[in-house]
Amino acid sequence: MSESDATTSTEQRLDRIVSKELVDFVRDNIIWPLLLLVFLGFSVLLPIFSTWNNIEALLYGSAALGAVVLAETICLLSGHFDLSVGSLTGFTAITAGVFMVEWFPNAPGIVGIVFIIGLGGFLGLLNGISIGYLEVNPFLQTLSFLIIFRGGIEVVSTATFIDLPESYQFVGGGSIGGIPFALIVMLGLLVVLHFVLTYTSFGRHIYAVGSDKEAAEEAGIDVKNTVLLVYVISGMLCGLAGLMFTGYIGAASPTIGARILFPAFAGAIIGGVSLFGGAGKVTDAAGGILLLGTIQVGLTLLNVDPTAIDVVNGAILLGAILLYTFEERAAEFGGAPSDG
């Protein structure tokens, strides 16, 4: 090979790496400028939009949904997914409502909080055993749970429970110094999950399993146990979401958890979490849900028909998926340099 050929080859290779890393960078960070742009756009159209009251309402409304997004995010990072997050959120909320009002009416709120998160963790454990140890396809397993627990909500109760202890409702509906407690919980959750996923072996194992399950196994990572724990955590987050929704609306209603599967997926994917596992950050997933929330509130204030809002949300999700497809193509057509 001549010197000029070698120089050209090195330059092409560098170009490929730079373009691939540029695509990665865009994917990983696009959510925040996009969120700012959308926010500024609505602020221009609607002067009320950028008021603190509106921002607070937006954040408050997004907090409970944020827990479901995180439940989905952790599954996606491990290369799996969970179709049952909405059903588990609804089922834990209504069952805990029955628990607090009918089974143990005098129990303090903390008992209900432990019960609802524990119930979520238990249902997640069942998902985890089935998917991690019995190697049932995650789609079939979580689809079954979606159907079982959506029906289960009706079996447990069709009534709405409002006589819940204040301490029980505080997590989703209370405030400290004028700041909604749900926001504080969500921020705390983001910090803890970010820490666990970035700085602990368990967190890195989740990424490794999501990136290449066989490689993780051959490197000595306990893949089955990692998957099991991912679903347990996901279930606990669904329980927490059920608790936060209950506090937010002031009641344990059988409608909690309905129609949140799409935003759970969309928030994570728009936030840059890979559909194929192993890449993405929980903090960016939070950006995804804020973007969806901002659009929802903005279009509602502009009196746009709710079905049209769904169309806009779907289009944004499609855009995010196209970005991934572009990224995959970039890798196929030259992201990884050849050996020569």
Partner 1 sequence: MRNIKKRFGNIQALAGVHLDLRENEIHGLVGDNGSGKSTLVKVLVGLHKPNDGEIRIRGDRVHIDNPKEAREYGISTVYQDLALAPDLTVAENIYLGRYPKKRVGPIPVVDYGKMKETASEVLRERLNIDIDPTSEVENLSGGERQAVAIARALIVDPEIIIMDEPMSSLSADSVKRVKQLVKNLRDEGVTVLLISHNLQEVFDLTNTLTILDNGHYVGRVQTDSITEDDVVRMMVGGKVPEEIEDQVDTTPTFSSVAGD
Amino acid sitting at position 230: V
What sign for the dihedral angle of Cα 139, 141, 146, 147?
positive
Residue 79 or 298: which CB sits closer to partner 1? 79
CA pair distance 96, 120, nearest whole angstrom: 10
* DSSP per-residue letters across 18-41: HHHHHHHHHHHHTHHHHHHHHHHH
Which residue in the set 212, 258, 262, 299 belongs to the binding site for partner 1 (CB under 8 A)? 212
> Binding to partner 1 by residue 331, rule CB under 8 A?
yes
At its nearest, how many Å lie between partner 1 and the CB of residue 192?
12
Which residue in the set 206, 221, 233, 290 belongs to the binding site for partner 1 (CB under 8 A)? 221
> Binding to partner 1 by residue 28, rule CB under 8 A?
no
Binding segment for partner 1 (CB under 8 A), chosen from 34-42, 58-66, 184-192, 332-340, is 332-340
Residue 43 or 225: which CB sits closer to partner 1? 225
Residue 332 CA, chain-centre distance (Å), reads: 28
Residue 210 or 293: which CB sits closer to partner 1? 210
Cβ 267 vs Cβ 288: under 8 Å: yes
Q: Which 8-state DSSP code applies to residue 108?
A: -
Q: Which 8-state DSSP code applies to residue 252?
A: B
> Binding to partner 1 by residue 152, rule CB under 8 A?
no
Helix (H, G, I), strand (E, B) or coil at 9: helix
Which residue in the set 11, 15, 21, 310 belongs to the binding site for partner 1 (CB under 8 A)? 21
At its nearest, how many Å lie between partner 1 and the CB of residue 132?
16
> Binding to partner 1 by residue 4, rule CB under 8 A?
no
Which residue in the set 162, 215, 302, 311 belongs to the binding site for partner 1 (CB under 8 A)? 215
Q: Which of residues 65-104 bind partner 1 (CB under 8 A)?
A: none
Binding segment for partner 1 (CB under 8 A), chosen from 85-93, 198-206, 237-245, 255-263, is 198-206
- Residue 168: HSE in the Cβ half-sphere, 13 Å Cα cutoff: 31
> Binding to partner 1 by residue 334, rule CB under 8 A?
no
Number of residues forming the site for partner 1 (CB under 8 A): 36
Q: Which of residues 234-293 bind partner 1 (CB under 8 A)?
A: 274, 277-279
Helix (H, G, I), strand (E, B) or coil at 294: helix
CA pair distance 180, 170, nearest whole angstrom: 9
Cβ 89 vs Cβ 68: under 8 Å: yes
At its nearest, how many Å lie between partner 1 and the CB of residue 203?
8
Phi-psi region of 273 (alpha: psi -120 to 50; beta: other; left: phi over 0): beta
> Binding to partner 1 by residue 208, rule CB under 8 A?
yes
Closest CA to 257 of 55, 83, 54, 58: 83
CA pair distance 289, 320, nearest whole angstrom: 13
> Binding to partner 1 by residue 22, rule CB under 8 A?
no
The residue length of the chain stands at 340
> Binding to partner 1 by residue 216, rule CB under 8 A?
yes
Bridge partners of residue 180, in order along the sequence: 175
Helix (H, G, I), strand (E, B) or coil at 332: helix
> Binding to partner 1 by residue 214, rule CB under 8 A?
yes
At its nearest, how many Å lie between partner 1 and the CB of residue 80?
15
Residue 92 or 226: which CB sits closer to partner 1? 226
> Binding to partner 1 by residue 219, rule CB under 8 A?
yes
Cβ 270 vs Cβ 292: under 8 Å: yes
Residues that bind partner 1 (CB under 8 A): 13, 17, 20-21, 24, 198-201, 204-205, 207-208, 210-212, 214-222, 274, 277-279, 331, 335-340
